[in-house]
Amino acid sequence: MNDLLTVDDVFAGYGDIAILEGVSFRVGQGEAVALLGRNGVGKSTLISTLMGLTDVRSGTVRYRGEDIGKWPSHVRARRGLGLVSQEREIFPSLSVEENLVVATRAGSWTLERIYDLFPRLYERRRNMGNQLSGGEQQMLAIGRALIGNPAVLLLDEPFEGLAPIIVDGLVDAFRRLHQEGELGIVLVEQHAALALELTERATVLDRGRVSWSGDSRDLLAHPEQLSALIGLAEAAA
Ligand SMILES: Nc1ncnc2c1ncn2[C@@H]1O[C@H](COP(=O)(O)OP(=O)(O)OP(=O)(O)O)[C@@H](O)[C@H]1O
């Protein structure tokens, strides 16, 4: 498989605070990788590192084989890294459609294709960003990332805080995106079992280091190992 993103032995953090200590990670085209671990182990920091938003002390981050360590985050976004952060980052005073239009970059993702994936956004296209439910905001955040026509989609806890029926809809959309096979997807998720069902491979972090990396099905088949890695409550979620 062609790797889109490759992280090799990265040490990174915020100013003098070291968070990631020797993390290696990769995602290829058409592949979904889960990023798991207890609260505060560095999952979001790794996503931020991929986007160029942390201070990298050593190690390399490559995109399509090219060292992108010096690329600012807006260049990474323009070249193909699409981020859906926990903050969602939609414009509250723009309509749904305007939010999508301002994020558009040329490629196969168009307004029509976004509305086909999320019919709810079509129904709400004239609503302002601040007039949306949490689930609709998350659909819009994912739509905004997709219409930027990324090669890699980075999803930081996309199902967090949403009602089960809304999560089901987002999970369906996730499966569809994955089946289309165009994107590399990184899924940060607290609900480990769900994340493992949705992905081929998983990386588990523990206090800034990789504690496990391998086939998602293997970890799903060994609940005792999963709970030892990430805690009983998270494994059962
Ligand atoms: N901007 C920041 N400046 C300083 N420290 C930070 C910053 N952001 C996060 N941290 C710290 O980095 C560590 C890792 O946080 P991070 O958000 O990456 O963990 P996480 O695994 O994503 O956790 P969660 O599941 O709770 O989101 C934590 O100790 C956190 O307090």
Rounded Cα distance between 214 and 89, Å, is 32
- What's the pLDDT band for 88 if we cut at 50, 70, 90? confident
Please work out whether the CB of residue 19 comes within 6 Å of at least one atom of ligand 1: yes
Please work out whether the CB of residue 13 comes within 6 Å of at least one atom of ligand 1: no
Chain mean pLDDT for the chain: 94
> Is the pLDDT reported for residue 233 higher than 70?
no
> Which single residue is written with the structure tokens 């940060």?
188
Q: Domain boundaries in the chain?
A: 1-80+198-237
Closest residue to atom 24 of ligand 1, CA basis = 39
Rounded Cα distance between 155 and 63, Å, is 17
Q: Provide the greatest CA pair distance for the chain.
A: 48
Q: Of 47-56, 123-132, 138-147, 228-237, which range is least confident?
A: 228-237
Torsion of CA 100, 139, 85, 108, to 10 degrees: -50
Domain 1-80+198-237 - what CATH class?
alpha beta
Rounded Cα distance between 216 and 185, Å, is 14
> Is the pLDDT reported for residue 42 higher than 90?
yes
Please work out whether the CB of residue 230 comes within 6 Å of at least one atom of ligand 1: no
Pocket test for ligand 1, best of 14, 17, 19, 159 (most atoms within 8 A of CB): 19
Please work out whether the CB of residue 138 comes within 6 Å of at least one atom of ligand 1: no
Please work out whether the CB of residue 191 comes within 6 Å of at least one atom of ligand 1: no
Predicted pLDDT of residue 213? 97
Predicted pLDDT of residue 235? 58
